[in-house]
């Protein structure tokens, strides 16, 4: 190992340790109300209890009888499978589970290094990409969640990295597993399949090797299909209502809204402010970088474009986290675009490095300031002493055959084992729910129509007569 390689590994390790320190101050007890996290944990619990199909029936009932679409019948099982040993060993331990998710973020940084190191003569550029991501407030503060985004980031990056390995039977088998497991974690991972097809097409056309070796390229698709069929036979397919929701809400207006929404997020990520004019130079640099390297990287273009296309037609938007998988590649092409322009105009790269240092010097302190501000705020909403008492009362006093109406039905079911549906006070009477739990601070007064069976400082539980 060359001395420079040893130094690079130490620099990477230092970045990871400093990033972990900031993650440490952001991870707190409890969880925000969210909702997605509770279904992921419930699925992990159902794997341990061999009650996957029972959970599917309960949540299907919950989603079908709620007054609006709030989630799938079940999420893909990749993340719950990863989470199930953690649940088995520690139960519902929020801090352990959050750190488990955060480790996938931390270990994504070496993958980014491996992906891009050979693409630059100077390692400064790949470290720039890593630092911008490692010390971004959205990434760090997101570690206070139990969600599938970081595991998906890790396995999607790993899959793309595996594409570049030597064409052997073993490597193609591992590649097929990586692509499938990315999809097994999140449906959008399906875009890795056409990405891989384009990459294999490029290799098939450009490389001179025996036809026998090129047949190995079929192995990942066989592996993907085998796992897909096996999972379809063994596990309930929980995304049917999500696909129905997509078909129902897909429109030009929805796409237009998503274009503005994600443009705003990218503008804040790259420029630190929402302004299309501020984002435009970065877009031009990214396009320049994609143009300058298109022969070797067009399969990555497909990955970015297909991912963004799915996000633009998807009716739900939940912040920058949906863009996590493509941000490293956008930063990569931005740098390639910058280098292309500097070489075109024969400018010294030292000027470019100086510009990047200035950019990082403005961006990183602002992000870390946001991280510190987040660390001082209370993020626990669903597991406070008050809500724990409510869960205890419902669990002990409401039969499992009854249904409770609440704005966070998956959370309530996770902590009480009593099924729940999403309703409001206006729909309570006509709903199949016997009980209705409401927040006093919403201004809804149910006490005039229904008897109160439990009351706390902020919540009221009423029952139909």
Q: Is the dihedral of CA 64, 70, 76, 82 positive or negative?
A: negative
pTM across the whole model: 0.95
3-class secondary-structure state, position 308: helix
Q: Yes or no: say if 247 and 258 are a contact pair by the CB < 8 Å rule.
A: no
Instruction: Considering only the C-alpha atoms of the chain, give the largest distance between any 2 of them, rounded to a whole number of Å.
Output: 81
Q: Yes or no: say if 104 and 456 are a contact pair by the CB < 8 Å rule.
A: no
What is the pLDDT tens value at each position of the chain, 465 positions in all? 455 878 999 999 999 999 999 999 999 999 999 879 999 999 999 999 999 999 999 999 999 999 988 889 999 999 999 999 999 999 999 999 999 999 999 999 999 999 999 999 999 999 999 999 999 999 999 999 999 999 999 999 999 999 999 989 999 999 999 999 999 999 999 999 999 999 998 888 887 766 667 889 999 999 999 999 999 999 998 777 777 777 777 889 889 999 999 999 999 999 998 888 889 999 999 999 999 999 889 999 999 999 999 999 988 778 999 999 999 999 999 999 999 999 888 888 899 999 999 999 999 999 999 999 999 999 999 999 999 999 999 999 999 999 999 999 999 999 999 999 999 988 999 999 999 999 988 755 665 788 999 999 999 999 997
Q: Yes or no: say if 374 and 141 are a contact pair by the CB < 8 Å rule.
A: yes
Q: Yes or no: say if 240 and 75 are a contact pair by the CB < 8 Å rule.
A: no
Torsion of CA 367, 368, 370, 371, to 10 degrees: 120
């Amino acid at each position: 190992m060359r001395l420079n390689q040893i130094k690079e590994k130490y620099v990477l390790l230092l970045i990871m340790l400093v990033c972990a320190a900031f993650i440490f101050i952001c991870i707190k007890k409890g969880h925000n109300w969210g909702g997605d996290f509770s279904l992921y944990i419930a699925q992990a619990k159902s794997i341990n209890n061999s009650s996957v199909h029972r959970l599917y029936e309960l949540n299907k009932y919950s989603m079908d009888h709620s007054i609006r679409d709030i989630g799938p019948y079940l999420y893909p099982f990749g993340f719950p499978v990863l989470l199930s040993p953690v649940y088995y060993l520690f139960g519902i331990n929020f801090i352990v589970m959050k750190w488990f998710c955060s480790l996938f973020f931390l270990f994504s940084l070496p993958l980014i290094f491996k992906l891009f190191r050979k693409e630059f003569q100077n390692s400064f550029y790949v470290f720039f990409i890593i630092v911008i991501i490692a010390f971004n407030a959205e990434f760090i503060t997101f570690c206070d969640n139990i969600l599938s985004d970081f595991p998906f980031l890790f396995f999607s990056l790993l899959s793309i990295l595996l594409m570049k390995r030597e064409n052997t039977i073993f490597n193609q088998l591992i590649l097929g597993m990586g692509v499938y497991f990315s999809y097994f974690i999140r449906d959008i991972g399906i875009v890795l399949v056409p990405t891989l097809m384009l990459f294999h097409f490029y290799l098939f056309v450009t490389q001179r090797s025996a036809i026998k070796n090129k047949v190995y390229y079929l192995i990942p698709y066989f592996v993907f299909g085998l796992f897909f069929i096996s999972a379809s036979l063994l596990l309930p397919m929980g995304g049917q209502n999500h696909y129905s929701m997509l078909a129902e809400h897909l429109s030009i207006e929805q796409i237009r809204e998503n274009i503005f929404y994600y443009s705003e997020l990218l503008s804040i990520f790259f420029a630190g402010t929402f302004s299309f004019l501020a984002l435009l130079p970065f877009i031009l640099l990214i396009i320049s970088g994609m143009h300058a390297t298109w022969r070797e990287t067009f399969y990555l273009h497909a990955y970015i474009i297909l991912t963004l296309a799915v996000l633009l037609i998807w009716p739900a938007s939940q912040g920058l986290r949906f863009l996590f998988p493509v941000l490293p590649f956008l930063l990569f092409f931005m740098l390639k675009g910058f280098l292309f322009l500097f070489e075109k105009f024969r400018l010294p790269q030292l000027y470019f490095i100086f510009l990047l240092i200035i950019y990082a010097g403005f961006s990183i302190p602002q992000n870390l300031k946001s991280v510190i501000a987040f660390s001082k705020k209370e993020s626990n909403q669903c597991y406070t002493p008050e809500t724990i008492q409510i869960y205890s009362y419902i669990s002990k006093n409401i039969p499992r055959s009854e249904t409770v109406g609440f704005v966070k039905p998956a959370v309530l079911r996770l902590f009480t084992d009593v099924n729940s549906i999403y309703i409001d006070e206006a729909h309570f009477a006509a709903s199949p729910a016997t009980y209705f739990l409401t927040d006093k601070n919403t201004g809804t007064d149910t006490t005039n129509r229904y008897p109160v069976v439990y009351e706390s400082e902020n919540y009221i539980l009423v029952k139909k007569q």
